[in-house]
């Protein structure tokens, strides 16, 4: 089984945000969980996708349900 990782720049590009935003989010405990290995920050693809699912909304006032995503 191969686990895909994205670095900070790759994730920032994926989401169209700055690397500084990701750095701030990490310090505030926001965003997907991450790895820090020998000073390098990495995000597992599965954690990124799980976080994206958590962020799905059907309106500004509620999250999407599993049934709505299917």
pLDDT mean over 1-7: 85
Both tokens of 17, joined, read: 């945000």
42 beta partners: 7, 35
Q: Encoding tokens for residue 42?
A: 């990495």
Domains of the chain: 5-69 (1.10.1660)
Q: What is the pLDDT of residues 44-53, one digit of tens each?
A: 999 999 999 9
The pTM assigned to this predicted structure is: 0.79
β-bridge partners, 63: 57
Nearest to 51 by CA among 15, 18, 8, 23: 15
Average pLDDT, the chain: 88
């Amino acid at each position: 089984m191969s686990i895909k990782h994205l670095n900070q720049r790759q994730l920032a590009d994926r989401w169209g945000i700055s690397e500084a935003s990701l750095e701030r989010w990490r310090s505030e405990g926001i965003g997907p969980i991450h790895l820090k290995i020998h000073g390098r920050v990495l995000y597992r693809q599965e954690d990124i996708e799980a976080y994206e699912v958590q962020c799905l909304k059907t309106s500004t006032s509620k999250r999407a349900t599993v049934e709505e995503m299917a």
